[in-house]
Amino acid sequence: MLNAFHKLLKLSFIFTLVLTGWTSIILLSNTTFTLEIKDLITKMYLNQKNFIFNVKELSLILVKDANERFSKKNQGVID
């Protein structure tokens, strides 16, 4: 099991390195697709930023819900 996880991790690392290297070469050589690649990379980073903000907002909502549920349970115990 651990060996399979190690192989998968190694494969994903190699894939990331190849993709990063290939993208860097294309961006440095100023091909006709440079603008499209830059636009796509910008969209990817914006999505990561939005994902982080959405996780934060979801966490706050979940905490509010938990506080409300616990306060209702405690009111029932007190009454």
The answer to whether residue 79 scores a pLDDT higher than 70 is no
Rounded Cα–Cα distance for residues 35 and 40 (Å): 9
Q: Token digits for 68? A: 């409300």
* Alpha-carbon torsion, ordered 45, 49, 50, 54, to 10 deg: 150
Summarised one tens digit per residue, pLDDT across range 6-56 is: 999 999 999 999 999 998 888 888 888 889 989 998 998 889 888 888 889
Question: Which residue in this structure is represented by tokens 């506080």?
Answer: 67
